[in-house]
Structure 1
Amino acid sequence: MAAELAHLAEAGREIAVRVTPRASRNRVVADEEGGAIRVYVTTAPEGGKANAAVQKILAKALGVPKTRLVLLRGAAARDKVFRVS
């Protein structure tokens, strides 16, 4: 998956994702036609745990350190926007 999303890892790019918490397994799915990115995490959306899990999984898929991903919008929503710093 990292090779497929590596082109999105340029500095300053904003990446919109749709999150599904409490999934059966952690994974990132990219829609090739629409460009939508869905992130599935096993953690519950309590106390920012799901946001941290999404950041970690998305960073791995992009091939960047998780500290380079900044959550811009959607801390309490399923639709989130991250910026690659």
Structure 2
Amino acid sequence: MTQSRFYRWDEGALILSCHLQPKASKDEISGLHADSVKIRITAPPIEGRANAHLIKYLAKLFGVPKSDVTIISGELGRAKRVRIENPSRLPDTLPIERD
């Protein structure tokens, strides 16, 4: 089974490459952007608010507590890698297959 380049599995955790668009009109996954998932969020990129909002949004989307979502790289930029521990659900909007 081949995996798309925007995600990979690491012992039950999902590693997701994201391209963030802060200050959007609504929170949504708006498709793929190169080798990343484009995620639009309403929070502004000020004082870590966008990162906190992204964690909250992804936790809700994948059915995990916020403590199970970690930004592992790209804290200060739009391109981020996020680790989601044992997601209980996968959003229909993303072509992700279980490992």
Shorter-chain TM-score: which interval? 0.7 to 0.9
Is the Cα–Cα contact under 8 Å of residues 28 and 58 in structure 1 kept in the other structure? no
CA distance in 2, matches of 1:51, 1:80: 10
Higher share of residues assigned helix: 1
Write the distance in 2 (CA, Å) between the matches of 1:64 and 1:17. 18
Instruction: Look at both structures and tell me which one has the larger radius of gyration over its CA atoms.
Output: 2
Gaps of 5+ in 1: 1-7
Number of aligned residue pairs: give it.
Answer: 75
Paired position in structure 1 for 2:49: 49
Deviation at 1:29, TM superposition (A): 3.3
TM-score calculated relative to the size of structure 1: 0.74
Distance between the aligned counterparts of 1:11 and 1:84, measured in 2? 9
Residue pairs, 1:1-85, within 5 angstroms: 11-31=12-32, 36-85=36-85
Question: AA paired with 2:81?
Answer: V
TM-score, structure 2 normalization: 0.65
Name the residue aligned to 2:95: none
Instruction: Flag the structure with higher strand content.
Output: 2
Measured against aligned partners, the alpha-carbon deviations of 1:22-57 in whole angstroms (never above 9, x if no partner) come to 1011112344xx874221111110100000001111
**Alignment root-mean-square deviation, CA:** 2.0
SS at match of 1:42: coil
Counterpart CA distance in 2 for 1:19 and 1:67 is: 20
Q: Which runs of 5+ in 2 are unaligned?
A: 1-8, 86-99
